[in-house]
């Protein structure tokens, strides 16, 4: 295992550029494919790209807020002490990798946004506390939990096809979660990944100290010292102006926090579901409530904002790529190639592969399903294949290649401060392992439903 890990990490470290360069490269590749494969003119492709560039602006803002608010919540004294207490009991590097993986998997199964942030924060804490822990692998392990989100509580496709009035209801009807997320096969797959992926990740930990890259504890210590120095420089309470006293008053943070928590209670009571907006709302106001003092919250917020710069810049590039894929017909053409080789039993498998391929270029579960879904469900109707198995297979392909998709890696990279090439070698191997697991699942589902 160590030989294989060393090979991939060195290969990726030498040849893989930063995530921003990959976003530009994928843009140029998609435009080129649209021109060559779909006979789209360069001018038309450029227009599709430019028109689509801002189509994910709302989503990009949601992701920036979840990154910043999740970071701030993790930095609140209560949560920070709780995470310190949990991670301080871990001494072994391999045990730390197991804990980081479990945090990512469990968090992402319940909600992918929550798991993405909490997993990375836990991994960073472990890296600070555990001597000899390979920091890039810890972050990769925490991120690998995203591989389970699509068959979890926040899976885009399962939730969509279980909703009355979804856009494919006239063909496939309503598919309850009992046939997807909570089916014995998918619950078994989730449990299998929960048990085996932490072990697989732990096995990749370097045994040679020369290959271990620990977190820069001196830099962490400097930041802590600077934070304490800023706190010490604040004037004593009696010397503060009226405005400073208001900024440092716990009343405002607690009052608005209680109001927000009351709203969340009413929201859940009225049947509201956990989504990006409600999760962002909860993260934001829990952070304000737990900091209590607005000045302390804003100080932590300023630190968190610096971690979100990559998200703000790069997500529009992927929106532009999606614009070209959809407008030129490339996405449908990719899906048709796989459907042509399918039978009723194997359609879920080919749907899985096509979903994985398209996700590399268009990393958005909902947007991808909106275009690819009609093609796959129509094929399922013609072949007599299972609608639910076919739909879930597309979702599993999406979550599978997320392991190497920089789009979703940006928050983890922002929190860790690592470069993409430092963790990608591990994620390639993780994707290979999960490819075997997920392929077996979709094949079984296809033959069981036939």
Contact 396, 150 (CB under 8 A): yes
Contact 212, 144 (CB under 8 A): no
The pLDDT of residue 310 is above 70: no
The pLDDT of residue 230 is above 80: no
Neighbours of 336 (CB within 10 A): 13
**Spatial separation of the C-alpha atoms in residues 98 and 156, rounded to whole Å:** 27
Per-residue pLDDT of 368-380, as tens digits, reads: 787 788 889 989 9
Torsion (CA) 254, 259, 261, 267 in degrees, nearest 10:
-170
Per-residue pLDDT of 210-228, as tens digits, reads: 889 999 998 888 877 776 6
Dihedral of alpha carbons 339, 372, 117, 110, sign: negative
pLDDT over 70 percentage in the chain: 94
The pLDDT of residue 303 is above 90: no
Per-residue pLDDT of 10-68, as tens digits, reads: 888 788 888 788 889 989 999 999 999 999 999 999 999 999 998 878 777 877 787 78
Per-residue pLDDT of 345-354, as tens digits, reads: 999 999 999 9
DSSP code, position 314: H
Contact 330, 38 (CB under 8 A): yes
Kindly list the distances between the CA atom of residue 315 and the CA atoms of 61, 250, 298, in Å, as whole numbers in the listed order.
Answer: 9, 36, 25
What mean pLDDT is predicted for residues 94-110? Answer: 95
**Spatial separation of the C-alpha atoms in residues 108 and 154, rounded to whole Å:** 8
**Spatial separation of the C-alpha atoms in residues 403 and 145, rounded to whole Å:** 9
Kindly list the distances between the CA atom of residue 444 and the CA atoms of 38, 131, 147, 289, 396, in Å, as whole numbers in the listed order.
Answer: 35, 43, 19, 48, 14
**Spatial separation of the C-alpha atoms in residues 76 and 290, rounded to whole Å:** 6
- 317 pLDDT tier (thresholds 50, 70, 90): confident
Quote the pTM value: 0.83
User: Among the listed ranges 37-41, 109-113, 289-293, which one has the minimum average pLDDT value?
Assistant: 109-113
Residue in 124, 106, 121, 100 with CA at minimum distance from that of residue 202: 100
DSSP code, position 362: S
Per-residue pLDDT of 398-442, as tens digits, reads: 999 999 988 788 888 888 989 999 999 999 999 999 999 999 999
What is the structure's pLDDT at 229?
A: 65
**Spatial separation of the C-alpha atoms in residues 300 and 296, rounded to whole Å:** 6
**Spatial separation of the C-alpha atoms in residues 391 and 292, rounded to whole Å:** 45
Torsion (CA) 373, 379, 384, 387 in degrees, nearest 10:
-10
What is the structure's pLDDT at 446?
A: 94
- 196 pLDDT tier (thresholds 50, 70, 90): very high
């Amino acid at each position: 295992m160590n030989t294989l890990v060393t090979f991939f990490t060195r290969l990726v470290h030498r040849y893989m550029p930063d995530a921003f360069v990959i976003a530009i490269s994928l843009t140029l590749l998609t435009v080129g494919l649209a021109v060559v494969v779909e006979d789209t003119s360069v001018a038309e492709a450029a227009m599709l790209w430019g028109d689509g560039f801002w189509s994910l602006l709302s989503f990009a803002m949601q992701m920036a807020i979840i990154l910043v608010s999740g970071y701030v919540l993790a930095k609140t004294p209560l949560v920070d002490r709780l995470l310190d207490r949990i991670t301080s009991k871990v001494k072994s590097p391999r045990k730390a990798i197991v804990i980081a993986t479990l945090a990512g998997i469990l968090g992402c199964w319940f909600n992918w946004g929550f798991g993405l942030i909490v997993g990375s924060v836990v991994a960073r804490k472990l890296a600070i506390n555990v001597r000899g822990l390979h920091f890039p692998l810890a972050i990769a392990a925490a991120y690998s939990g995203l591989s389970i989100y699509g068959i979890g509580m926040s899976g885009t496709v399962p939730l969509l096809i279980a909703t009355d009035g979804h856009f494919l209801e006239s063909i496939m009807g309503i598919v309850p979660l009992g046939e997807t997320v909570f089916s014995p096969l998918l619950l078994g797959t989730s449990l299998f990944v929960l048990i085996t992926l932490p072990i697989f990740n732990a096995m990749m930990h370097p045994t040679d100290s020369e290959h271990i890259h620990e977190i820069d504890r001196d830099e962490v210590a400097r930041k802590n010292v600077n934070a304490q120095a800023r706190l010490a420089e604040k004037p004593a309470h009696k010397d503060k102006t009226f405005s400073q006293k208001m900024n440092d008053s716990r009343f405002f943070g607690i009052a608005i926090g209680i109001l927000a928590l009351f709203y969340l209670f009413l929201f859940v009571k009225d049947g509201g579901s956990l989504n990006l907006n409600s999760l962002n709302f909860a993260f934001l106001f829990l952070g304000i409530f737990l900091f209590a003092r607005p000045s302390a919250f804003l100080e932590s917020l300023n630190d968190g904002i610096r971690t979100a710069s990559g998200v703000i810049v790069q997500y529009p590039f992927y929106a532009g790529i999606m614009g070209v894929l959809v407008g030129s017909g490339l996405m449908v053409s990719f899906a048709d190639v796989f459907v042509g080789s399918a039978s009723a039993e194997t359609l879920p498998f080919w749907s899985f592969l096509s979903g994985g391929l398209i996700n590399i270029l268009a990393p958005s579960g909902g947007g991808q399903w909106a275009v690819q879904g009609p093609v796959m469900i129509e094929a399922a109707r013609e072949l007599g294949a299972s609608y639910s198995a076919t739909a879930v297979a597309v979702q599993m392909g999406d979550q599978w290649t997320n392991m190497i998709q920089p789009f979703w890696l940006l928050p983890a990279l922002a929190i860790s401060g690592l470069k993409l090439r430092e963790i990608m070698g591990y994620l390639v191997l993780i994707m290979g392992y999960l490819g075997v697991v997920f392929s077996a699942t979709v094949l079984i589902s296809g033959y069981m439903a036939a």
